[in-house]
Amino acid sequence: MDGDLSTDHLPFPMPSRKYTLSQEWRNLTFMHWEVDPEKLRPHLPHGLEIDTYDGKAYIGVVPFLMKNVRPTWFFSTPFVSTFPEFNIRTYVKKDGIAGVFFLTLEAYSMVTCSYAPKAYGLPYRYAKGSIAKQGDRVSWKSSRASGNMVLSGTTQVIGETVQASHGSLEEFLFERYSLYTDKQGKLMRGYTHHKKWDFQNAEVDVVENSLTEHFDLGIENCLRPEYVHYSDGVRVRTYSIEIAERIGNDINRDFLFLDGDCGLCHRLATFMDKRMTKNANLGYRPNSSEDAKRVIASMPDKFINSDTVYLIRKGKPFMKSSAAIRCLLYMRWYYRMLYPICWLVPLPARNLAYSIVARFRHKIFKKPSVCSFRVD
């Protein structure tokens, strides 16, 4: 990775969990157009707010070379880990966290186009493409395998290498460290960690841009971007996506949603609280609270309307026995030792036992007069 992967320039902290992918973004041309927010809005999922600069919305078209993509536990693979990519993105925010949303990502990689939509909900589409740099000139071309959607042209780099000044349009366009996706109808958020962008001014000769025209964003001339920049690129760490709904400002805090009218749930919360490790960052909410209902509604369909406890751990939701046994991970070491033992029991058997206890819990445990477990 880059020698400087500091966090001083980041607008929010990165997740405390391990990043999942390492990659490089190289030879990037950034072309931007101002767009009508009303034309842009139909392309965004519910829950995302269009981010604007001086009241103006923008889209970016970015041809670049994706290089040395690999999982953290593996090495980069020839003919798989490096490929041209061309994306169209816009600028959005949710709960004050600014990010990007991709209208499309065209990639010359069958592996990426097969894996990324399933794992991340990213709209990757297979397209033959090329990126070639000679001196201060970069040529690029993408042609989608299905449909007549082409992006081609050349970039001429001019000017000195700079970084975006605070409050500038360039800072608004470049300094984005999260992305949003629509995965199976649910809004998700991912994080990207890299150094602050170094870039130069540039000029482009766009030969064809039917790719951008396809989205009907009201751009008068898709061959003439209003702003053009070039960057040699950055090394990047990306994190697994998480549900975008959150409680509070601490992105690294986990939450356990419990039945506030259940005596067993109250005993569980009290039992855990007295035995938690000092660094356990876990909060509680009753299932009936507005916070919990909002987050549960953002979960995959199988989670909604289930009679269960819910655990949000590292941005990922768990329910029933999968949530219950993970509670051990917040407790002292001799409780955490039980976690792998619990996994020896098959999931159907664990969930059956959970369902039986859940069904009769109100008969076995007295209903509390008030919800008394910790809510902070």
Shared domain check, 292 and 214: no
Tens digits of per-residue pLDDT, 92-102? 999 889 999 99
Q: Give pLDDT, residue 250.
A: 81
Tens digits of per-residue pLDDT, 155-181? 999 989 999 999 999 999 999 999 999
Domain end position, chosen among 243, 265, 280: 243
Domain end position, chosen among 183, 210, 243: 243
Q: Order of strands across the sheet with 282-286?
A: 282-286, 254-258, 310-313, 316-319
Shared domain check, 334 and 272: yes
In angstroms and rounded to an integer, the radius of gyration of the C-alpha atoms of the chain is 24
> Is position 92 within any domain?
yes
> Is position 61 within any domain?
yes
**In the chain, pLDDT over 70 holds for what percent of residues?**
98
Shared domain check, 88 and 64: yes
- What is the tally of structural domains in the chain? 2
Residue 282 bridge partners (DSSP): 254
Shared domain check, 204 and 318: no
316-319 and 310-313 as β-strands: parallel, antiparallel, unpaired? antiparallel
> Is position 274 within any domain?
yes
Shared domain check, 131 and 205: yes
> Is position 218 within any domain?
yes
pLDDT category, 3, cuts 50, 70, 90?
very low
Shared domain check, 194 and 231: yes
> Is position 10 within any domain?
no
Output the average pLDDT for the chain: 92
Task: Write the CATH number for 58.
Answer: 2.40.400.10
Task: Write the CATH number for 275.
Answer: 3.40.30
pLDDT category, 1, cuts 50, 70, 90?
very low
pLDDT at 260 over 60: yes
Helices 347-364 and 263-273 cross at an angle (nearest 10°) of: 110
- Global pTM? 0.88
Give the mean model confidence (pLDDT) for residues 211-223.
Answer: 95
- On whether the CB atoms of residues 24 and 236 are closer than 8 A, the answer is yes
pLDDT category, 372, cuts 50, 70, 90?
low
Shared domain check, 276 and 222: no
Shared domain check, 314 and 217: no
Give the mean model confidence (pLDDT) for residues 331-356.
Answer: 94
The CA dihedral of 130, 132, 137, 141, to the nearest 10 degrees, is -10
Domain end position, chosen among 184, 216, 243: 243
pLDDT category, 275, cuts 50, 70, 90?
very high
Give the mean model confidence (pLDDT) for residues 216-239.
Answer: 96
> Is position 281 within any domain?
yes
d(CA 116, CA 189): 14
Shared domain check, 216 and 309: no
pLDDT at 2 over 60: no
> Is position 298 within any domain?
yes
Shared domain check, 238 and 286: no
Shared domain check, 203 and 261: no
Tens digits of per-residue pLDDT, 33-88? 999 999 999 999 999 999 999 999 999 999 999 999 999 989 888 888 999 999 99
pLDDT category, 371, cuts 50, 70, 90?
low
> Is position 249 within any domain?
no
> Which of 144-148, 150-154, 209-213 is predicted with the least confidence, judged by mean pLDDT?
144-148
Give the CA count within 13 Å in the CB-facing half-sphere of 348. 0
Please tell me which residue, 285 or 375, carries the higher pLDDT value.
285
Shared domain check, 191 and 141: yes
Q: Which domain holds residue 304?
A: 254-364
| Per-residue buried b or exposed e for 93-132, using 16+ beta carbons within 10 Å of the residue's own CB | bbeebbbbbbbbbbbbbeebbeebbeebbbbbbbbebebe
